[in-house]
Amino acid sequence: MIYTVTLNPALDKTARVDRFTLDEVNRISDVREDPGGKGINVSKVISKLGGQSRAVALLGGSVGEKIAGMLEAQGIDVWAFEAAGETRTNLKVVDPELDTHTDINEPGPQASIAQLDAMREALAEKLVEGDIVVLSGSLPKGAPVATYAAWARSCSAAGAKVFLDADGDALTRGLDASPYLVKPNDAELSRLCGRELSGEADVVAEARALVSRGVGRVVVSMGGAGAVVVDGNHALRARSPKVEVGSTVGAGDSVVAALAFAEERGMSLEDATRLAMATGAANVMQSGTQAAERSLVDSLMDKVTIEAL
Ligand SMILES: Nc1ncnc2c1ncn2[C@@H]1O[C@H](COP(=O)(O)OP(=O)(O)OP(=O)(O)O)[C@@H](O)[C@H]1O
Ligand SMILES: [Mg+2]
């Protein structure tokens, strides 16, 4: 089973406003709501690829209930834990005329250490050997920076493969727990190293350094340029197909979803990488936060190139 964890989920409200103007009354011409938060996005993409996952999430109030209902309607199994307040709503104002995208994000409710510990223990108790746990996204207020490190240790001890997609201190501390896979983008890897990385060779060297520190597999995504993938035996350079870009929001989540889906099916590193790049590219072709159809992903598979380094 694949479990995704979302500690700070959101209802993403995308509002179309033509000629969005500050200091004026703006009228919404179209609005859509989608369940969001990085772990939840990963679950949505896994579902489109034809897989199953359980979305473990801290959800609160009527917005929390709405998110759970929407996910269940999409066939995604939800394991909800009661948040201490109403789940946040994130407003995305899209202006097609001026071609602007403005995000107005709420902070979300505070989480207590006791609540996070209880959630972590409940999950670890359910895990069996070979399960996959995806830890991704920002931490809620009140969560210690070592939250993902603690979760990674508990889940690994229970036999699960931990996939970590985080930034800043949450990533730095999470690495100490030797996750099975990490997926920084190039900017996150630079921040982790404390210096600007100069080109592909530098990225590969730093990814190798993480593997020698105990991370099983390092996937460094590089936007339209593709990714570098390193494990104990291989280093690959993958190039994504050139596509028409709708929105790059959630591209990384799509890659993580495909990697988890591929791992569960026992795919080789090369096949998993190819699927991840096709899934990433298919998802950037979408205009909003909706996940791409599997047929589109399949049509891009042959256009991914992979070279051994
Ligand atoms: N412009 C693009 N053209 C084609 N593929 C793309 C493009 N941008 C992203 N991708 C695909 O998506 C993958 C992940 O993108 P990126 O490195 O931007 O992730 P990220 O920064 O983690 O994104 P997120 O905002 O979801 O955290 C890339 O490796 C690539 O396969
Ligand atoms: Mg990312």
Ligand nearest to the CA of 185: 1
Ligand 1 pocket member 288 (CB < 6 A): no
For the chain, residues with pLDDT lower than 50 are none
Tell me the CA end-to-end span of the chain in Å, nearest whole number: 32
pLDDT for residue 90: 95
The H-or-E segment that residue 17 falls in is strand 10-17
| Cβ-based neighbour number of residue 93 at 10 Å | 17
Q: How many Å lie between the centroid of ligand 2 and the Cα of residue 25?
A: 34
Mutate to test the pocket of ligand 1, among 188, 255, 287 (most ligand atoms within 8 A of CB): 255
Ligand nearest to the CA of 255: 1
Ligand nearest to the CA of 240: 1
Q: How many Å lie between the centroid of ligand 1 and the Cα of residue 144?
A: 28
What's the sign of the alpha-carbon dihedral 26, 107, 219, 50? negative
Catalytic positions, please? 253
pTM (predicted TM-score): 0.95
Residue 218 three-state SS: strand
Q: For 54-82, how does the pLDDT look when each residue is reduced to its tens digit (9 = 90+)?
A: 999 999 999 999 999 999 999 999 999 99
Measured CA distances, 186 to 39, 89, 196, 206 (Å): 20, 29, 9, 10
pLDDT for residue 198: 87
pLDDT for residue 247: 85
pLDDT for residue 249: 86
CA 34/CA 37 separation, integer angstroms: 10
Domains plus CATH for the chain?
Answer: 1-130 (3.40.1190.20), 180-309 (3.40.1190.20)
Q: 223: alpha, beta or left, given left = phi > 0 and alpha = psi -120 to 50?
A: left
Which residue's alpha carbon is at the smallest distance from atom 27 of ligand 1? 252
Ligand 1 pocket member 144 (CB < 6 A): no
pLDDT for residue 188: 96
Q: How many Å lie between the centroid of ligand 2 and the Cα of residue 23?
A: 33
Mutate to test the pocket of ligand 1, among 135, 221, 259 (most ligand atoms within 8 A of CB): 221
Ligand 1 atom at minimum distance from 241 CA:
4
Q: For 174-185, how does the pLDDT look when each residue is reduced to its tens digit (9 = 90+)?
A: 999 999 999 999
Ligand 1 pocket member 255 (CB < 6 A): yes
Ligand 1 pocket member 64 (CB < 6 A): no
Ligand 1 pocket member 251 (CB < 6 A): yes
Which residue's alpha carbon is at the smallest distance from atom 15 of ligand 1? 223
Ligand 1 pocket member 243 (CB < 6 A): yes
Ligand 1 pocket member 174 (CB < 6 A): no
